[in-house]
Structure 1
């Protein structure tokens, strides 16, 4: 666990003669910025105004920490008559002089770090570093943007929402998007806790009459989007993108789910379990050498939203029964009821995807699932050979409508396949093939173009080019690096005059294209150290996370405390099952495309009419399947950029410790509830709202045994017991916030019914930290919520203020030491002591990493004070080999 310096951008208090501008907004990356990244907010207004300056202000102290009159005016954009870019990239960069990541290395080549047990000393150092949050001094900031209306001397001020700047703002983000991948699982679905499509499938289009119309077991994989169709095209790309992300940045991925997708660690990174799920299905879709299948089901699926487990589509074998699995024949297949055919010319586009996934999958899965790794690895060459034999593209099929995935390029798939086979075998014939295929398509054609058909040029970036550029050397590297740069340059030229530097065409799944170009920009910068396109990279990244005309993060619930799609086109919100957590929605489309679609509407949604940029539109509406539908492959493609930014933010920490900043801490609802369970270490946390009768006993015990405690107090406690607080601070104990007003954030048992607004939460924390500063506490990034009662919304709000929620580890019942004999559930001190060691014996990891909560004071009715047993508890735990964070080195 590691907390770094966090900064925030919001409005400041109004000065005399200054008024708020109701029709103006500042758009920001809601998740935040790492210190060495570009940091640009975009001012937008419905009025014609002139922004003259802006300044960043410490939200807790009111001090100006950055100011600038360098405002880049960008002109009008649709309904927005004024736009400009506010660059504060210099803020925070003084803290981290280098990113600690070497450029010029082969991409995705970092070796997997072994899970070697840390020594006790190293473990204690990590725990102490985590709980003490040695990432820099804590502060939160706001920005004032000042503007004038032409001909009017009145100054206007505009504000944005809060957001953090710090090393850890991307921590866990790559794992977070895997929530949507688990929601999309077909067969057994852990989100629904039910199975679906267990009859799949009947072969369609096979040239051998003995196989055509027979059953083939292809159960598994993921649903493509909000329908239940499944495509090799998108699924294989999703698998490859996740494998590439894991191979490149293994430190960023944790283990909180089992193989079947249910909660619970299994010793395997969750992304590897998701990769395994995809490869199991891909293996079924290629049952024999040369026998490949391109999709399951078709547009007959579109019979209304329903639970996948309640399938009612009928493909001729009964409602909810078998679905078709379409054979890759290399010949045109059906496209709509008009009798038209798709434009299939071969099978290489599909075969190449099989081959690259099988080749890389054999490497990624080997340490965890060796049998499956060997099985798919053995299939890679045959899949590649099938593509060589039948070059060309393999498009998808439809029955009722003309809408299909119209992939027309295939050389990029064979290029990547050849390169991965070269990596796997060392056979330079495959390298020569990769180069030859790579020269057939120098730049992915959509880059710099104004339009393209649906998935016409797919995958949306050529990963093979990046591999050849980084790992071949000499003129070949120069050639393919030039190709990578050319694609970026074309998008840059198209978007350089856009206020959001947005050069992506407004076609379906524009967010997927944005993610692909973001990835290409990162890899180019990683390979070359050239920062020419870093501002565009930052703009693409920030666009996905809320710095766009609508101020909406395009990744559902990232961050939970921000603005994100609440009504995506999916059965999940429509049926009251929650949201498509972690899913990347399609994103904006051209207004002309939206206007010509059938069955699309904005009914009941958020239409953003006052900020639509004119040429493209976005709506947060369940009925808008063109802009607000999450996609599985786009979501999977986020795992690389999000994991990269986590790694980049913590670059020096990774190189120092060999593990990610989040380490092996155990979290619940965004709060840390247990530190690394592999280390025989315990921390004591103490809270109080208004009582301090145990202060002397607790302080004496901690001092006697040289143990550092973690104390969390409300505003009332700070005001009632300033001497106790000062004594704790002088002694070197951690002192942090338990909120100011001891708020109940949501009713007991109703975690979805917030009783406090985000602004109310912020105001309460600002008051709390004013008291902390008065007591001499400058850094207090760990926050224990009042009543130890929180949810993921509270955790997100805290994180957007630079705070990390921590809570006690369940099981020992020390948190019940406040109970009194008159209560139904009274916990005596003897009961608690007994429960502690029962908990130890019942957990295979004992009490390792436990955070034990003890109250600093309790009701006078309780005469059996558990804090009086603290010396006995410390001695007993030490005799069992547990360490504690020392007060003195």
Structure 2
């Protein structure tokens, strides 16, 4: 990841012209068995009836498709084509060409979404209130002072915890409880997806509990504080006086008139606000319904993990349900210095979901009947039905109650989903991006809701009628949009994602808000009417901001580029589902352990196999010795050669001998250049085009020895040194980046006595044995790197220990394997 300031300078230096021809793609890539459609946009009038898909390594045409003309005018363009290549299912790296315009490289692979569901949790951890693991510091420890309570006003209450709503430090029960529910829903459907790399307090380190459950528990604990007793429920912490400029939460000095305490608003069910401006609340059902459904689902999830906690949540769910029915109506967030608040005006969806969860918790039919009754009052979410809405007017943006009821009253509630999807389909069918959603504030939240609704409809109906629309909206979030940017900050694997979100973290700490889903584009008419927006850098998307909606990756644009807690959480089910779908499509069932860059560093850690790997650029004096040892022990290994080595080798017959013996031979780069800095690993030293050319030339040399790129996808980078850019570029060319298993130490066999890090062969062997006995997985699946040629200064050649290594570990039950066997 390039430093923010470097990117900022780049943006000033290279601004786009007012003409453009681009192909927009899902930058993460595509699952093999999925709908795949790219979009061509041009500021010129271009007529093309077909397009081609090319192999990124060989440049050969592998697919030809027909274009579909769509309405370009809405996006300020003269030409817009949809390019459907769904028939392409072969895994690999590709690019699209149309009218002399080439897309970025992309990949088709079953693992394109792997790790994304866990990645967005980074933002939730960053948003934590109380102890903040990102800052390694605490904030708002004195929350707060009760306001608007008939008898407890001015009393102190402990409600520290939860998450900050967005880049401000307000905390709303409305959005927070929905955040908890969205994560619980994702975990309930796909518990197998989530990993354990963080402790309960959010700091790095496993604790035996999936990280999403840690985050869910953090939220549920805060919900209990905000609903401390029967009929006592609190709506929010702080108010719009919070909007006092950029500062970190642990440096928050806003004074609400209560000293170090912030106001905590009691749920009154009446219009609320401590000063001139008040909201329009009519009851408590919307907020209490959310608490009831959250407590009820939480009780189900923690039933076995923490029975006492589950019992407590069950009791709270009953109380919240009764409170929800005590004063039917909607409850909005409170304002103070301005008439700005979340304008939720529906509540029947909250009561439907609450009753559905109460039924699943208790099996009492009265709750099922209640759920059905409330569900029929709002069959289609108002923002979908009307094609527009005020800010958060119909919230949550997806009615999950319909889904839970579909199992019991399938036709009614399945059709409710279909009616809404039909409307979205009709509005979007002529749009280049198949996006007929309204571009109001937080439009990306609507996109996530629509994708989820389409996914759940297909799940309960087995209908594929909305597949293309669902795929288009999915791809919109990952870069197939007019601006060509993914909408999740710092998302690994994409070429372009928000690096300048409207956030104090970015302005003060010079870092993006990793994992956060930004608000997304708004109608141009809305943007032009906003007050206080001042872009901090030239608009690199200017040519694409001439249509019906605008987006800026700019700290100054609070309308399109502010990440939100609930929007991010709304991706949980979607991303977990995409990961699960990818695993189902995975035809290679090998279990790879990967490092933080997604590079393979172990293969099937539960199996006692060792993978011997050898890399060569210029020196290969030990080649014959190694081959004889492998032949003697009837072992296949893996070799990685540079183009330099293949071109200049004085022993081409030796290479042919390796091929004939059936060993794996793969790429090691063409010129053996250093791809990224030793001192600053995220500083990439070559361009993507230079990398692409380097790899293509390497494979041209391999082909001279009969090695086809399709059979040599594993790639070990030069110097075994790489970063996220190299990992992403490799994947997008259809390559599988692989490296030695960290800690094994044999890679240090290149060192010479004059180096400070010199290790003798005996030291290397002793270290390897110690690593094997001291590691939980031993050498299971380990990738051992040995250099077949080293400097003449090193007379103690480690490759002469190869036979000893093979004999020693074979006696311990290990088998030696080649990458060809995967």
Query: Given the alignment of the two structures, is residue 759 of structure 1 paired with residue 689 of structure 2, yes or no?
Result: yes
Distance 1:62 1:418, change over 3 A: same
Shift of 1:853: 2.1
What are the residue-to-residue correspondences of 1:196-207 with 2, within 5 Å?
Answer: 196-207=139-150
- 2:664 alignment partner, one of 725, 734, 755: 734
Query: Given the alignment of the two structures, is residue 241 of structure 1 paired with residue 182 of structure 2, yes or no?
Result: yes
Shift of 1:322: 2.1
- 1-structure distance, mates of 2:733, 2:461: 35
Distance 1:724 1:632, change over 3 A: farther
- 1:351 alignment partner, one of 288, 296, 307: 288
Partner of 1:134: none
- 2-structure distance, mates of 1:279, 1:143: 47
Instruction: For residue 727 of structure 1, give the secondary structure of its aligned residue in structure 2.
Output: helix
Greater shift in the superposed pair: 187-196 or 674-683 = 674-683
- 2-structure distance, mates of 1:293, 1:803: 53
- 1:610 alignment partner, one of 543, 564, 574: 543
Shift of 1:640: 1.4
Shift of 1:456: 0.6
Shift of 1:689: 2.1
- 2-structure distance, mates of 1:634, 1:854: 48
Contact in 1 for aligned 2:615/2:640 (Cα 8 Å): yes
Contact in 2 for aligned 1:713/1:737 (Cα 8 Å): yes
Shift of 1:583: 1.3
TM-score, normalising length: structure 1:
0.86
Distance 1:242 1:703, change over 3 A: farther
Q: What CA deviation, in whole Å up to 9, does each residue of 1:149-185 have, x standing for no partner?
A: xxxxxxxx21221111222211222222222222212
Distance 1:289 1:743, change over 3 A: farther
Shift of 1:615: 1.9
Partner of 2:273: 334
Query: Given the alignment of the two structures, is residue 189 of structure 1 paired with residue 132 of structure 2, yes or no?
Result: yes
Contact in 2 for aligned 1:666/1:672 (Cα 8 Å): yes
Q: What CA deviation, in whole Å up to 9, does each residue of 1:536-586 have, x standing for no partner?
A: 111111111111111111112234441122211111221244211121110
Instruction: For residue 600 of structure 2, give the secondary structure of its aligned residue in structure 1.
Output: strand
Greater shift in the superposed pair: 622-631 or 374-383 = 374-383
Partner of 1:13: none
- 1:853 alignment partner, one of 785, 789, 792: 785
- 1:169 alignment partner, one of 108, 112, 120: 112
4+ residue runs of structure 1 moved beyond 6 angstroms?
886-889
Distance 1:420 1:89, change over 3 A: same
Greater shift in the superposed pair: 583-592 or 377-386 = 377-386
- 2-structure distance, mates of 1:799, 1:822: 38
Distance 1:837 1:626, change over 3 A: same
- 1-structure distance, mates of 2:821, 2:142: 64
Q: What CA deviation, in whole Å up to 9, does each residue of 1:780-811 have, x standing for no partner?
A: 33322221212222222222222232222222
Contact in 1 for aligned 2:92/2:109 (Cα 8 Å): no
Greater shift in the superposed pair: 527-536 or 513-522 = 527-536
- 1-structure distance, mates of 2:308, 2:801: 53
May I ask how many residue pairs the two structures share in their alignment? Answer: 801
Partner of 2:448: 515
Partner of 1:453: 390
Partner of 1:443: 380
Shift of 1:224: 1.2
Distance 1:59 1:635, change over 3 A: same
- 1-structure distance, mates of 2:171, 2:801: 60
Contact in 2 for aligned 1:545/1:558 (Cα 8 Å): no
Partner of 2:95: 142
Contact in 1 for aligned 2:293/2:317 (Cα 8 Å): yes
Q: What CA deviation, in whole Å up to 9, does each residue of 1:835-863 have, x standing for no partner?
A: 22333444444444433222222112112
Contact in 2 for aligned 1:72/1:86 (Cα 8 Å): no
Instruction: For residue 584 of structure 1, give the secondary structure of its aligned residue in structure 2.
Output: coil
Contact in 1 for aligned 2:28/2:494 (Cα 8 Å): no
Instruction: For residue 414 of structure 1, give the secondary structure of its aligned residue in structure 2.
Output: helix
Contact in 2 for aligned 1:27/1:160 (Cα 8 Å): yes
Q: What CA deviation, in whole Å up to 9, does each residue of 1:507-558 have, x standing for no partner?
A: 1000000110011111111222212111111111111111111111111223
- Stretches of structure 2 that go unaligned for 5 or more consecutive residues are 1-16
Partner of 2:465: 532
- 1-structure distance, mates of 2:243, 2:321: 34
Shift of 1:870: 2.2
Distance 1:444 1:869, change over 3 A: same
- 1:392 alignment partner, one of 311, 329, 343: 329
Distance 1:266 1:620, change over 3 A: same
- 2:715 alignment partner, one of 756, 779, 783: 783
Shift of 1:880: 3.8
Q: What CA deviation, in whole Å up to 9, does each residue of 1:29-51 have, x standing for no partner?
A: 11111122111111111112222
Distance 1:362 1:878, change over 3 A: farther
Instruction: For residue 384 of structure 2, give the secondary structure of its aligned residue in structure 1.
Output: coil
Contact in 1 for aligned 2:110/2:585 (Cα 8 Å): no
Instruction: For residue 630 of structure 1, give the secondary structure of its aligned residue in structure 2.
Output: coil
- Stretches of structure 1 that go unaligned for 5 or more consecutive residues are 1-19, 96-137, 147-156
Query: Given the alignment of the two structures, is residue 295 of structure 1 paired with residue 228 of structure 2, yes or no?
Result: no
Q: What CA deviation, in whole Å up to 9, does each residue of 1:645-676 have, x standing for no partner?
A: 2222332549x97xxx8x57242232233345
- 1-structure distance, mates of 2:704, 2:566: 51
- 2:563 alignment partner, one of 605, 623, 630: 630
- 1:408 alignment partner, one of 345, 348, 359: 345
Instruction: For residue 851 of structure 1, give the secondary structure of its aligned residue in structure 2.
Output: strand
Shift of 1:223: 1.4
Greater shift in the superposed pair: 797-806 or 544-553 = 797-806
